[in-house]
Structure 1
Amino acid sequence: MLVKIKNNLNYLAVGAVFAFVSFWTAKTPAWSDDFNNIVNGKGLTFLQIAQTQYHRYFVWSGRVVAESIASILVSLGRIPFGVLNGLVFAIMSLLILKLAGVSNLHEPKSFIKYTFILLGLFWLMPSFGQVVLWTSGSGNYLWTATLNLAFIYYILKKVDPKKWAVLCLMIPVSFLSGASNENSGVGVIAFLLLYFALNKEQIRFMKTRLLLLLPYLLGYIFLIVAPGNSVRARVHDAWFMQFSLFDRLTMRFTGLNDIVSAKLLIPLILLILFVALRLVHKDYKFVIAEVLPYFVGAALMVYALVMSPELDPNAGRMYLLPFLFVLIATTKSMELVFDDQLNRFVLILVFMVMFLETFLSLSSGFIDSMKTNIAIQLRYDSISEQKKHYNHKRGIVVSPYSYVGQTKYSVSKETDFDMVAKPTGPYNILLSRAFGVTKISIK
Structure 2
Amino acid sequence: MKINYKKISPIISILVIAAAVFLMYKLNVLTTFRSDDFNYHYSFADGTRISSFMEVVKSQAAHYKVMNGRIPAHFLMQFFTIYGKPVFNVVNTIVYIFFILLVLYMIKKSWKVNPLTFMTMFVVMWFYLPAFGSTVLWMDGSFNYLWTTVICLLVFLPYRNPKLFDYKVNQFIFPIVGLIAGWCSETTSAGIVFFQFWFILYWMYKKRPHVIPYIITMLTSFAGYCLMTFAPGQMQRLDRVSGGEIPILKNMYHFIVTMGTRYYIEIFVFILLISISIFLNRNRELNYLAVLFFMTAVLAACTLIMAGIQNINERTYFGIETLIVIAMGILIKNIFEDQLSTFQKMNLAYVIILVPLFLINYRATYVDVRRTHNEYTKREAYIEELKSKGEKELNLKAINSTNDHSPYYLTPDLSPNPNHWQNVTKSKYYDVDKINKIN
- TM-score normalized by the length of structure 2: 0.86
Cα distance per residue 1:152-197 (max 9 Å; x no partner):
1134323154554454333332211111112212211222233344
| Inter-partner Cα distance in structure 2 for 1:157 and 1:134 | 33
Deviations, residues 318-373 of structure 1 (Å, cap 9, x unaligned)? 11111111111222222456969997886666555433543343332232222223
Q: Could you tell me which of 389, 397, 400 is aligned with 1:399? A: 397
1:83 pairs, out of 80, 90, 98, with: 90
CA distance in 2, matches of 1:288, 1:351: 26
Match of 1:54 in 2: 61
- CA-based RMSD of the aligned residues comes to 3.2
**Runs of 5+ in structure 2 lacking a partner?**
none
Instruction: State the match for 1:293 in structure 2.
Output: 292
Distance 1:378 1:84, change over 3 A: same
Distance change (3 Å), C-alpha of 1:104 and 1:344: closer
Number of positions where the alignment pairs a residue of Structure 1 with one of Structure 2 = 428
Q: Which amino acid aligns with 1:5?
A: I
How far apart are the structure 2 equivalents of 1:31 and 1:56?
19
What does residue range 36-51 of structure 1 map to in structure 2 within 5 Å? 36-38=39-41, 43=50, 45-51=52-58
For residues 303 and 349 of structure 1, what CA distance do their matches in structure 2 show? 35
Change (3 A) 1:391 1:341: closer
**Residue aligning to 1:355:** 355
**1:100 correspondence with 2:107:** yes
Q: Report if aligned partners of 2:200, 2:215 keep a CA contact under 8 Å in 1.
A: no
Contact 1:157/1:206, CA 8 A, preserved across alignment: no
Question: Residues 128 and 409 of structure 1 are in contact (CA less than 8 Å); yes or no, is this contact kept in structure 2?
Answer: yes
Tell me how far apart the structure 2 counterparts of residues 400 and 195 of structure 1 sit (CA, whole Å): 49
Q: What residue is the counterpart of 2:386 in the other structure?
A: 386
C-alpha displacement at 1:206, in angstroms? 5.7
How far, CA to CA, are the matches of 1:246 and 1:408 in structure 2?
33
Residues in 2 aligned to 1:30 and 1:316: alpha-carbon distance in whole angstroms: 20
SS in 2 for 1:38: coil
Matches of 2:57 and 2:104 in 1, distance apart? 35
Alignment match, 1:204: 209
- Pick aligned residue for 1:175 from 176, 179, 193: 179
Report deviation, 1:216.
1.4
1:202 to partner: Cα distance: 8.6
Q: 1:334: which partner in 2?
A: 332
Q: How do 1:104-183 and structure 2 match up within 5 A? A: 105=112, 110-161=114-165, 163-183=167-187
Q: Find 1:322's aligned residue among 320, 323, 342.
A: 320
Offset of 1:304 from its aligned partner?
1.7
SS at match of 2:162: coil
- Does the 8 Å contact 1:44/1:71 carry over to 2? no
Q: For 1:370-416, what per-residue CA distance to the aligned partner results, in whole angstroms no more than 9, with x for missing partners?
A: 22232233323322332222224xx2222343xx2112210011312
Change beyond 3 A, Cα 1:256–1:52 = farther
1:361 partner amino acid: N
Which of 431, 434, 438 is residue 433 of structure 2 equivalent to? 438
Higher relative contact order (Cα pairs below 8 Å, separated by 6+ residues): 1
1:238-263 residue CA offsets vs partner (Å, 9 max, x unmatched): 2x73x8543343334424443445xx
| Residues 56-65 or 345-354, more deviating | 345-354
Change in Cα spacing, 1:287 to 1:151, as seen in structure 2 (3 Å) is closer
The question of 1:419 aligning with 2:422 is answered no
Q: Which runs of 5+ in 1 are unaligned?
A: none
Check 1:260–1:46 CA distance in 2 against 1; reply closer, same or farther (3 A cut).
Answer: farther
Structure 1 residue 144: Cα displacement: 0.6
- The 1:81/1:282 distance shift into structure 2, 3 A limit, reads same
Q: In 2 relative to 1, CA 4–342 (structure 1 residues): closer, same or farther, beyond 3 Å?
A: closer
Q: Quick one: structure 1 residues 202 and 186, their matched pair in 2 at CA, closer, same or farther if it must change by over 3 Å?
A: farther
Equivalent residue number for residue 306 of structure 1: 305
- Structure 1: which amino acid aligns with 2:232? P
The answer to whether the 8 Å contact 2:109/2:160 transfers is: no
In the superposition, relative to structure 1, how do residues 244 and 280 fare at CA in structure 2: closer, same or farther (>3 Å)?
closer
The correspondence of residues 231-270 of structure 1 with structure 2, limited to 5 A, is: 231-238=236-243, 241=245, 244-260=247-263, 265=265
Distance 2:238 2:338 in 1: 54
Distance 1:160 1:247, change over 3 A: closer
